[in-house]
Structure 1
Amino acid sequence: MGELMGKLRDLDQMVAGRSVQALTSENITLKRRFQQLTREHRTLRERLEGARWNLRFADKRIADPEAQILERLLTTPPDTTEVTSEVARSCPVCETVFTVGTATSRQVFCSPTCKETNRQSKPPQQTCPACQTEFTTTVGQRRIYL
């Protein structure tokens, strides 16, 4: 860029009249373009630096849990204890026996599939107040408020 600026200065001294004005305006245009490219370069350099910093930070965040997991795997012996009745449960949908993490766990179903199967609506059985026969309906019972 500096070479071009120098050549423009040399031509400015050699040529007179209208061509000097044309060269001057082109010189100004080139200077503005140079400033714009410099700003864009600075912005891209800052973005690249930020992306590299984010990558290093992500690597550190991933490396710590990986190290902890590996340390636990290497230091704890495999669990050979039998399952206690407190953590053994029976799924109400498929009646499979499964284990939960702790005795205070609120897990009822053995899998998300069984949980979703249980959530599907079953039409309620109702009794006709007039003839006492049972029938199926999709509408809930009317509530009687006293």
Structure 2
Amino acid sequence: MAFDDVDFEGRTAFITGTSRGIGKAIALDLADRGANVVSTGKTVDGREDLPGTIVETTEEIRERGGSSIWCQLDVRDDASVRTAIDETVDAFGGIDFVVNNAGAIHMAGFEDTPPKRFDLLMDVNARGAYATTHAALPHLRESDHAHVVTFS
């Protein structure tokens, strides 16, 4: 089955890291295809040096006629993840897709990566994706079309 053949109408996508970049593009595309989109991430207030917020992504989806809510979350905080999952289920009745897109980036060699930076990378990129999927799993099991996509 090709991606273009998938019916997203009325399905709910929980996407981490939708303030900008790939996460925002995925959120907009799924919304344009009829999915309810949950825009998540840490950035709710705009910054001049780093444009884009989860609020702006949700507003853009709504302006285009789509259905979206935003939930601020830090994937490193289990309580924050559970709260966002609960808010999603309260708003849309379930979850059909989880897209683990939130990520920390550090473009440096081994010798230039201190342990504290390594911990951040693992906490966001690996554990954060695990924690998000784990929290969503009971709701994904109730979906007739559950999928998880993780960018790493």
Structure (1/2) with the larger helix percentage:
1
TM-score for both structures, normalised by structure 2: 0.21
Structure (1/2) with the larger strand percentage:
2
TM-score for both structures, normalised by structure 1: 0.21
**Larger relative contact order, structure 1 or 2 (CA cutoff 8 Å, min sep 6):** 2
